[in-house]
Structure 1
Amino acid sequence: MPPDPFQSDVSQYIWNSKYRYCDDEGPVDETLDDTWHRVARGIAGIEPHRQSDWTNRFLNILRGFRFLPGGRILAGTGVPYDVTLFNCFVMGRIEDTLEAIFDALKEGALTMQQGGGVGYDFSTLRPRGFPARRVGSIASGPVSFMRIWDAACDTLISTGARRGAMMASLRCDHPDIERFIDAKRHPGELRHFNLSVQVNDDFMQAVDRDDAWPLVFPVRALQGNDQCSDDVVQRVWSDRHQTEPCRILRRVRARDLWERIMRATYEYAEPGVLFIDSINRMNNLAYRERISATNPCGEVPLPTYGACNLGSLNLTTFVKQPFTQRAQLDLHTLDETTTDAVRFLDNVVDLSRFPLEAQRQQAQGTRRIGLGMTGLADALMMLGLNYGHEEARHQAAKVMAQICHTAYRASIELAKEKGAFPYFNQADYLHSPFIRALPDEIQQGIEKHGIRNSHLTAVAPTGTISLFANTTSSGLEPVFDFYYRRKILQPDGKYQTYTLTDYAWRLWQTVCPGKPRPDYFVDCNTLTPDDHLLMQAALQPYVDNAISKTINVPADYPFEQFKSLYKRAYVLGLKGCTTFWPNPVTGEILSVEPDISHHCCSIEREAG
């Protein structure tokens, strides 16, 4: 009899409740291997030739939790339901009319109904208090309309739809930015949204210089409005490429606004910050798209109607001889798995349904994928490395570089076989700063053959699929604790608490029974916020999308030091920053057992 693939109750529960296919008569997937077969056959069914061979190749990377596709792929492949295999989308531009606003709401509802999370830039909506041009009423502002989205998401959940996830972003120069910053100050407000401020280079410089900061809105939307000043500046607004005249409605002190953002995220974990100019500067498709929003967890900045197609390599499965002097990563198998995972995710683009035609066109035009890692913290411990030390960051960066470069080589080979992505423009694509930083032979391969996928790497939070994979550490996050409780949302909308044991700790107890934990077994209680930040920075050069990372901040961490984390994130070239300081507003998803000292906790940010 084959061994039980599940080492914990929560892993079995995740499979049963999220990924196991059941019809009206009961389970169709009798075992986890049935799930792997269903997914592998479905993804290989896209192949024009050798479908049986590709089924076996995909089975090989799925078994043993070596490659973990996004949750929508596991749940929706090979089933008769009308669902999307893409986890998350950025929705279309919200035009500033009532008809367009509710059209956008309808598109979001249709997307969430099929299981997709959604991201929006609400900067296109007129600030509160300004007259509407056609009917003479007064605009209520972006935050008021976000409440309508929040209620719609809540309604979809109450009808049995998958748990909703939404991201709202707003420009740092929008006149309603203070209201947006303070939107989640009260518990229960906008609870289905993650919030992020689009912070640009000019604002960061204004903060450094202690300048006045203009809050503006496009002139075309404010014509005939007596409240407007005569001061006009040129700005690129939202997802548009060209600058347009924007009227200055008022000025605030840049440092005061920055302080307000910092104080809000310190006290109730939101809003996060998107360094929007860094995002656009490093975008491989900057020649054809302007990004102003991300998916709900922030690891994939996307243009309007863009979609994220995610998968993660479970690094714990590539460690040979763990906890010994000979412990090492099996880089050959990592390369093989990465190559097959790229093909797997590329096939998802053609296999998936899409809630909207515009989403299908965008996904198939760019063929964006986001291959990343999970189990990093556990793998480092299995290699005898301390997450907070430079040697661990060096190893993590080396692994991410190998994943990145192997993925790009695999995508070039796919382009030779199946063609480049339709929106590929050789000269402009090769001019991208990220592409110019790749090894010469990869650049030459793209020049000669094109590339199948516009983007290839992302590091997602992987909260649910890491629990599914026997409680490995999540994404690039450190271990929360080696033995702790976690609340898991049930189908009835209530939370059930599970007691969890970290994967590496369980393995240590098996390999070295009775021995105490070595000093390289570190968790959030022993790591500093700088340790978190530096690990994210170590991986960022090899991630062409972005990284979802929550920097845990201890309860006694001073506010002035906290503020410096975001400045450092900007200087280090990160595309965004999210922190969590334990407080009464956000509460806790994770909690340690009573016999373990309390420390900072994390936010459940995964959409899948």
Structure 2
Amino acid sequence: MKSDELINDNALRTLKARYLRRDSSGKIIETPREMFARVALHIASAHRAYEDESSVARYADEFEHVMSAGILLPNSPTLMNAGLPNGMLSACFVLPVGDSIDEIFESVKDAAMIQKAGGGTGFSFDRLRPTGDYISSSGGKTSGPISFWRVFSEATRAIQQGANRRGANMGMMSVEHPDILKFITSKARAGEFENFNISIKIPRRFMESLRSNPDGPHVVINPRTGAGFHLPRSLDVPSYELADLAPAGNAPKSPVLTVQDVWRMIVNDAWATGEPGLCFIDRVNEDNPTPHLGAIEATNPCGEQPLLDWEACNLASIDVAKFVQGGGLDEQALARTIRLGVVMLDDVIDVNNYVVAEIDRVCRGNRKIGLGYMGVADAMMELGVKYDSDEGLAFADRLGALLKENALAAGEELAKVRGSFPNWSGSTWDTHHGRAMRNAALTTIAPTGTLSILAGCSGGIEPPFALAFYRHILGGQEMLEVNAPFAKYARANGIWNDELIDKLSAGRSLREIPGISDDAKRLFVTAFDVSFEWHVRMQAAFQKHVDGAISKTINLPQWASPADVESAFNLAYDLGCKGVTVYRDQCRMGQPMALEQARALCPQCRRPVAAPAGCARCPYCGCPLCG
């Protein structure tokens, strides 16, 4: 079957809008089949350095097949840029933000180069001295991290990534930074830092204090001097400076914020707006494969890829649903595809143009890749496995184990032929495992927004947002879309009719509709049918097998309370998740959005949204709209 024949209408529309090459006048000049051939041949050309010329054609054929069939797809920059002059193929980067004007603006410049080429960037602002701190070179006072963060945001706003993507960012700050109150509340006002997702880095000692001594004073630390301070309750959050804080070594003269006060501020803002998320930074660094090179301080924009400074990662995702055969999961075929995916992503490193010299050095030294899944919920439906059940968790556990086992086997096999990653000596692969490995890290679970549209499956490990909905298309037309496993079931069981589809597309849950069997209601669940406990447990089930992290939204109903958000955060910490993001239904619906701005579609709920300026979230479902 030709590649073009495997593309459905929605995938074709997405390819035309974002991926297919255009000439200088904007006219599309390649077909989907030609695009997949372009990408496959460019990636496979890496084999010339290790094998004979025939291997290039052989792997190009394999790569083209799995991509065109929607079985295995690399991240969007690879599809867009492979085979083009100076093509940058990575999706996610982390850049350092040092505490000097030179370092800050060098990072702004590097971020601009990355975003111009289609990548997303993550930053930690911990090293920046707090607002009002001393500047020796001028004798003045610094304006603080938030003001410099705004420079990054405005630079991103100004950069149009080709014709297809806008810049996406992650901003992170430790809960122990003196400006943390400003950071927590930074996105409370609509339109502020809209091209950033934000997360608070929570060290283990904070969680231990929260549980053992919640009423103890919260201590923040000046990164320039190491001095500790308390946060007076009387602080005016937008305007406070370092001089307004109370030295931690003295008994406070006025009431100060407790650990629990700061925690509740985080919880309440997450309940109100969906941000900030949490990053359990010590849990992240437990899995840092190269601690001898430094600690991990930030992640990519959607949080699934923790990276060192100057590091990037190439991602790809496998549609699990395509391996459901004869009422079971074809584990052998899935294992082969996992191993092929590792080869593909390792090849991408060799043919990549990393734009910035230091990024090229670090990436080729560590060779991190991020292979993961999409279509997990669809596969469960096809197999009759309930998402929010112990059976669902067991299925996730098995999928995660297959991913880990086969990715590691492929990485070890590649190391025998191509050598271990150059920074292997001193890494945990050397000191803890004693195992040759081509890539310092191999697996992650990405959100797969547009990739899941190309593959025609559910995104990442998420349940679908809706079983039926109307996609808004050009000319004001609407096109009905129905979740494929549900449509198959409904027709086979005689419940398919216009009335049912009208109710589902109007936002009704299958659980609310009479005449549907209890088994069907339990099987065909959507994001808001699933309680936050099961969302978190599903994330944790995959996390124990994954090198990186998991991009997942913990959906909550509109009537959920801040206590529910707090419970979700605590459960994620207890189950070993590396981070957690919640989204309460319609918590951002108050943000204005004119109809004429609705020029993009949310990849999960498919509702029209303003064309994202970066890492906004869909106001309907909370899905990341990163580029």
The letter of the residue matching 1:179 is K
- Alpha carbons 1:483, 1:592 under 8 Å: kept: no
- Alpha carbons 1:315, 1:376 under 8 Å: kept: yes
Task: Give yes or no for the alignment of 1:142 onto 2:174.
Answer: no
Q: Helix, strand or coil: the match of 2:186? A: coil
Q: For 2:622, which of 587, 603, 606 is the aligned residue?
A: 603
Task: Find the aligned partners of 1:159 and 1:70 in 2 and give their Cα distance.
Answer: 16
Q: Provide the residue aligned with 2:613 in structure 1.
A: none
Task: Say which is worse superposed, 160-169 or 363-372, in terms of deviation.
Answer: 160-169
Q: Helix, strand or coil: the match of 2:321? A: helix
Q: Render the CA deviation track for 1:139-159: whole Å, top value 9, x for unaligned.
A: 111111111111111111398
Matches within 5 A, 1:353-432: 353-425=353-425, 428-432=428-432
Q: Provide the residue aligned with 1:7 in structure 2.
A: 8
Task: Find the aligned partners of 2:495 and 2:564 in 1 and give their Cα distance.
Answer: 40
- Alpha carbons 2:117, 2:161 under 8 Å: kept: no
Q: Render the CA deviation track for 1:25-78: whole Å, top value 9, x for unaligned.
A: 743322x22222111111111102221111122223223100011111111111
Task: Find the aligned partners of 1:69 and 1:215 in 2 and give their Cα distance.
Answer: 41
The letter of the residue matching 2:46 is I
Task: Find the aligned partners of 1:510 and 1:43 in 2 and give their Cα distance.
Answer: 41
Q: Provide the residue aligned with 1:21 in structure 2.
A: 21
For residues 181 and 548 of structure 1, do their structure 2 counterparts lie closer, same or farther at Cα, with a shift above 3 Å needed?
Answer: same
For residues 565 and 95 of structure 1, do their structure 2 counterparts lie closer, same or farther at Cα, with a shift above 3 Å needed?
Answer: same
Q: Provide the residue aligned with 1:436 in structure 2.
A: none
Q: Render the CA deviation track for 1:385-415: whole Å, top value 9, x for unaligned.
A: 1100110110111011101110100010000
For residues 508 and 21 of structure 1, do their structure 2 counterparts lie closer, same or farther at Cα, with a shift above 3 Å needed?
Answer: farther
Q: Helix, strand or coil: the match of 2:149? A: helix
For residues 306 and 159 of structure 1, do their structure 2 counterparts lie closer, same or farther at Cα, with a shift above 3 Å needed?
Answer: closer
- Alpha carbons 1:464, 1:606 under 8 Å: kept: no
Q: Render the CA deviation track for 1:106-153: whole Å, top value 9, x for unaligned.
A: 111111111111100011111112232211332111111111111111
Q: Provide the residue aligned with 2:569 in structure 1.
A: 566
Task: Find the aligned partners of 1:460 and 1:72 in 2 and give their Cα distance.
Answer: 14
Q: Helix, strand or coil: the match of 2:160? A: helix
Q: Helix, strand or coil: the match of 2:257? A: strand
Q: Provide the residue aligned with 2:45 in structure 1.
A: 45
Give 1:313 shift: 0.6
Query: How high is the sequence identity, in percent, across the aligned residues?
Result: 30
For residues 96 and 332 of structure 1, do their structure 2 counterparts lie closer, same or farther at Cα, with a shift above 3 Å needed?
Answer: same
The letter of the residue matching 1:456 is L
Q: Helix, strand or coil: the match of 1:104? A: helix
Task: Find the aligned partners of 2:328 and 2:116 in 1 and give their Cα distance.
Answer: 44
What runs of 5+ residues in structure 2 fail to find an aligned partner? 229-241, 497-515, 594-601, 608-617
Task: Find the aligned partners of 2:477 and 2:165 in 1 and give their Cα distance.
Answer: 17
Task: Give yes or no for the alignment of 1:504 onto 2:508.
Answer: no
Give 1:506 shift: 3.8
The letter of the residue matching 1:271 is P
Task: Say which is worse superposed, 476-485 or 495-504, in terms of deviation.
Answer: 495-504
- Alpha carbons 1:128, 1:141 under 8 Å: kept: yes
Q: Render the CA deviation track for 1:501-550: whole Å, top value 9, x for unaligned.
A: 32323444566665568231111232111111110011111001110111
Q: Provide the residue aligned with 1:238 in structure 2.
A: none
How many residue pairs are counted as aligned between the two chains? 558
Task: Find the aligned partners of 2:110 and 2:479 in 1 and give their Cα distance.
Answer: 36
The letter of the residue matching 1:395 is F
Q: Provide the residue aligned with 1:239 in structure 2.
A: none
Matches within 5 A, 1:161-560: 162-208=165-211, 209-210=213-214, 211-220=216-225, 252-321=257-326, 327-425=327-425, 428-432=428-432, 447=435, 450-470=436-456, 472-485=457-470, 500-508=481-489, 514=495, 518-519=520-521, 520-560=523-563
For residues 136 and 373 of structure 1, do their structure 2 counterparts lie closer, same or farther at Cα, with a shift above 3 Å needed?
Answer: same
Task: Find the aligned partners of 1:495 and 1:189 in 2 and give their Cα distance.
Answer: 30
Give 1:573 shift: 0.6
Q: Provide the residue aligned with 1:151 in structure 2.
A: 154
Task: Find the aligned partners of 1:222 and 1:487 in 2 and give their Cα distance.
Answer: 55
Give 1:430 shift: 4.9
Q: Helix, strand or coil: the match of 2:372? A: strand
- Alpha carbons 2:17, 2:164 under 8 Å: kept: no
Task: Find the aligned partners of 2:131 and 2:37 in 1 and give their Cα distance.
Answer: 53
Task: Say which is worse superposed, 114-123 or 157-166, in terms of deviation.
Answer: 157-166
The letter of the residue matching 2:484 is Y
Q: Give the alignment's TM-score, normalised by structure 1.
A: 0.86
Task: Find the aligned partners of 1:216 and 1:222 in 2 and give their Cα distance.
Answer: 6
- Alpha carbons 2:605, 2:621 under 8 Å: kept: no
Q: What is the aligned-residue RMSD (CA, Å)?
A: 2.9
Q: Give the alignment's TM-score, normalised by structure 2.
A: 0.83
Task: Find the aligned partners of 2:282 and 2:226 in 1 and give their Cα distance.
Answer: 24
What runs of 5+ residues in structure 1 fail to find an aligned partner? 234-249, 322-326, 433-442, 594-598
Task: Find the aligned partners of 1:487 and 1:331 in 2 and give their Cα distance.
Answer: 37
